[in-house]
Amino acid sequence: MLVLTNPRTSRRPPWPFQINWDSPQAEGLEVWVPFAFPAGVIFTRGGAKGLTEGTAPFRFDHRGGYGIDFNTSAGNAATFAYPDAPFLTSAGQTIVWCGVVDTVSDGRHFASKHATNGGTNNPFDFRIEPGTTLLRCVRANAGGHQEMNGPNLTVGRFTTLAVRHADNLIQTLPDFFVDGVKAAGIAGASSGTPTGAVTGSGVDIRIGNRAPGSSHQMDGFCAEMRFYNKRISDAAIQALQDPDKWWELYWQPAKTFFHVVAGGGGGGANQFPALSVAI
């Protein structure tokens, strides 16, 4: 009998786990949201913290394993408080999203960190253009915003998407990645004076929709997101396409073994463990 397995999920380590800070994938990693595991847990450089999930349910999807289901319902988003500062530096930023986009009619926001429509004080708004499969990222400061367009994604298929900025200037165009294939960003619409460093307003990071009460929810399934406080390399992004490398970021604490040794037996090499307990 032929059994088909998803190579990305078949190697998944069991809970509990932590970040493997020795992995090259952890370099510059600021926030890690592994939706494929226990609800309400994210990992940051400051340690694990809580995640507010709204009404987004968890589900198993044969295309990508366990994750969170965004279905365009109001409030259907995952949010958490995080400072703006790591995403405003000249080292740039990289955002990675993994999952399945089911429809593109209005579902569009992968992750954002801005109030209202993102036209001002916006470190990032990674999304698709409504009704299309076109990737887009928007950044802004108090003086204006710049839209940046990328390649198209494929609806209904598990995919890894990324947007990477080399610095903190609004006018610097990013690179986009679809399943490890890089495409240069193209300038789109703008407002005001879209130049200079990006700024923020201290709002939460939102995954799945744009802002509280927004009608622009993602319609799809998200297995994982990674937020980097720098421009990571092409190789680091492309490594995420290798099922053998993907799980390098997941580290399980070593177990401590206690051996209960049977009495007698002459001692020394003649003794043997009667019971071994791992915790």
pLDDT digits (tens, 9 = 90+) for 4-30: 344 455 566 667 778 888 888 999 999
Distance of CA 180 to the CA centre of its chain: 15
Q: What is the mean pLDDT of the chain?
A: 81
Q: Report, as an integer, the average pLDDT of 128-150.
A: 93
Average pLDDT value for residue range 119-135: 91
Question: Which of 20-24, 196-200, 235-239, 262-266 is the least confident region?
Answer: 262-266
pLDDT of residue 187: 96
Q: In angstroms, rounded to a whole number, what is the distance separating the alpha carbons of residues 141 and 169?
A: 10
Domain 7-254 has CATH 2.60.120.200: yes
Query: Which pLDDT score, from 0 to 100, does residue 4 have?
Result: 38
How buried is 204 (Cβ within 10 angstroms: 0-12 exposed, 13-18 middle, 19+ buried)?
middle
Is residue 91 over pLDDT 60? yes
Q: With contact defined as beta carbons under 8 Å apart, do 165 and 150 qualify? A: no
Query: What's the mean pLDDT in 80-91?
Result: 95
Confidence at 147, pLDDT banded by 50, 70, 90: very high
Residue 37 has pLDDT above 70, yes or no: no
Q: Which of 31-35, 107-111, 123-127 has the lowest mean pLDDT?
A: 107-111
Mean pLDDT across 123-130: 91
Question: Which residues pair with residue 58 across a beta bridge?
Answer: 68
Checking if the pLDDT of 271 tops 60, the result is no
Long-range CB contacts (< 8 A, 24+ apart) of 235-238? 236/24, 236/25, 236/27, 237/94, 237/96, 237/162, 237/164, 237/177, 237/180, 237/182, 238/177, 238/180
Mean pLDDT in residue range 187-201: 94
Model confidence at 56: pLDDT above 60: yes
Confidence grade of residue 1 (pLDDT, cut at 50, 70, 90): very low
